Amino acid sequence: MIHVDDVTYFTRGYCFALALELHARAGFPLRVFHSDNDHHHHALVKLPDGQFLDVRGIQNRDAIKRHWGPGILRAVGPDFFKDWSENVEVSLGKLGKKRLNRVANKLLQRLVTLKCTECPAIKVVSREPCFYDFTEVTTICPRCEKDPKKKARHDRLLVPSRGTTRKAKHDRRAQNKK
Ligand SMILES: [Zn+2]
């Protein structure tokens, strides 16, 4: 049994355990990346904005292919991984539940969804340590920002009224809904 860091543990071994945990906790659908070059498979989850999440953080499709080389991403169910632990246990030992919890917590706690005020676009980002503890933030997406009408409407949300801003109220309402 070898000792490895979290990234190696959850990319070259227990990637499927982390994906299953994220799927169970947050409902994110499971994906598996099949590399063309070797027979390596990597498990991860798909985020609501179309990006993907694994121990390395949020990545889009291009970033995954840059890292793993050419291959395809496929939707799978939890059963797809049922035989995977047998091979992994040989080199990494039984799955470390504490380690799994710690890494899953860290990843999920950092997710922030940016929502456009002018269209249904969303983008999931990883919270920087200095960010406030919001899980949802209203903003304007790059596409709407190019439209002067939408930009102006969005900016009016930021105009202060009686000591508070409509944007702040909007954010608070969004936060309270959680
Ligand atoms: Zn937008």
Query: Mean pLDDT across the stretch 47-72?
Result: 94
- 112-142: per-residue pLDDT in tens? 999 999 999 999 999 877 677 788 999 999 9
- pLDDT number for residue 2: 62
Which residues make beta-bridge pairs with 60? none
Q: How far is the CA of 91 from the centre of ligand 1 (A)?
A: 47
Q: How far is the CA of 137 from the centre of ligand 1 (A)?
A: 13
- Write down the pTM of the prediction: 0.82
Q: How far is the CA of 121 from the centre of ligand 1 (A)?
A: 5
Q: How far is the CA of 115 from the centre of ligand 1 (A)?
A: 8
Query: Mean pLDDT across the stretch 138-156?
Result: 95
User: Strand runs (DSSP E) across the chain, as ranges?
Assistant: 30-35, 41-46, 52-54, 57-59, 71-75, 111-116, 122-126, 136-139, 160-161, 164-165
Q: How far is the CA of 43 from the centre of ligand 1 (A)?
A: 31
